[in-house]
Amino acid sequence: MRAPATVGGEPPAFVYLASQSPRRRQLLEQIGVRFELLLPRAHEDAEALEAERTGELPLAYVQRVTLAKMRAARARLVSAGLAPAPILCSDTTVALGRRILGKPVDAQAATETLRRLSGRTHRVITAVAVGAGRAVRLAVSTSRVRFAVLPDAAVRDYVASGEPFGKAGAYAIQSGLAAWIEHIEGSYSGIMGLPLYETAALLRGVGIAAPGAPRQDTALSPGGR
């Protein structure tokens, strides 16, 4: 088994979280991982990293964006002269078939997205990457979510609440719209934006323990969940 990556010969005490998402912070806190924020600076166009490419499939998209975020975060770390430590990046997209349903730009786009999801099953794909030194490890979690048929009034009220904005697929699993979700298959935390099982495994690989997650021997045991 390969030894965990270290920083300066010692296991790292924390991870840099290169994400503006409060949900990802909450999820790391949930499993007891110490982190420091490594956020885009004023001159950085973080949204540009998430721009779609013509014909790009959802899985390829989410992996590419996550690795682009990692490169930007590494440059930020060096430029700021911060102490070395592993970096954690993640990106989530919602896919309906081959179509990527990104963050809505306005109320009309949010309404159209929710109407597409109504009464159908879609995928939520989240990629997470941990970088330490020159090495980058990446994992992907794919979950399936099915909405019941959404009444026009429910869509209208949800869009009016402002909740859809800044969220892939125009919704958050932990919001009031969850009352219309019939079925989930996969990782609830992955749907929120950071699949904790995969994240804990990546962090173990760089020597960072997640006290609230399964130990390595438990996670790798046959049939273990």
CB 193 within 8 A of CB 125: no
| pLDDT tens digits along 159-190 | 999 999 999 999 999 999 999 999 999 999 99
CB 182 within 8 A of CB 122: no
* Domains of the chain listed by start with CATH number: 15-213 (3.90.950.10)
Give the integer Cα–Cα distance in Å for 101 and 113: 7
In the numeric block, which tokens belong to residue 152?
Answer: 């026009």
In the numeric block, which tokens belong to residue 207?
Answer: 């020597």
Runs of H (alpha helix) within 125-224: 152-160, 188-192, 196-205, 216-219
Q: What's the pLDDT at 218?
A: 40
Pairing of strands 135-147, 121-132: antiparallel
Pairing of strands 15-17, 87-96: parallel
Looking at the predicted structure, is the pLDDT value of residue 1 above 60? Answer: no
In the numeric block, which tokens belong to residue 54?
Answer: 């013509």
Centroid of chain to Cα 211: 20
Give the integer Cα–Cα distance in Å for 171 and 175: 8
Mean residue pLDDT of the chain comes to 89
How many C-beta neighbours within 10 Å does residue 60 have? 11
| pLDDT tens digits along 35-54 | 999 998 878 877 888 899 99
Give the integer Cα–Cα distance in Å for 14 and 210: 11
Q: What's the pLDDT at 220?
A: 35
In the numeric block, which tokens belong to residue 39?
Answer: 């956020």
Q: Which residue's entry shows tokens 């859809």? A: 164
Q: Which is more confident, 85 or 47?
A: 85
| pLDDT tens digits along 45-84 | 778 888 999 999 999 999 999 999 999 999 999 999 999 9
Marked catalytic residue, from 91, 106, 152, 217: 91
Give the integer Cα–Cα distance in Å for 150 and 169: 14
DSSP SS3 for 208: coil
| pLDDT tens digits along 191-221 | 999 999 999 999 999 999 887 666 654 443 3
Pairing of strands 99-101, 35-37: unpaired
H or E segment and range at residue 117: helix 107-117
Q: What's the pLDDT at 211?
A: 78
Bridge partners of 96, per DSSP, are: 99
Active-site residue flag, 106 = no
∠ Cα 85 76 124 (to 5°): 80
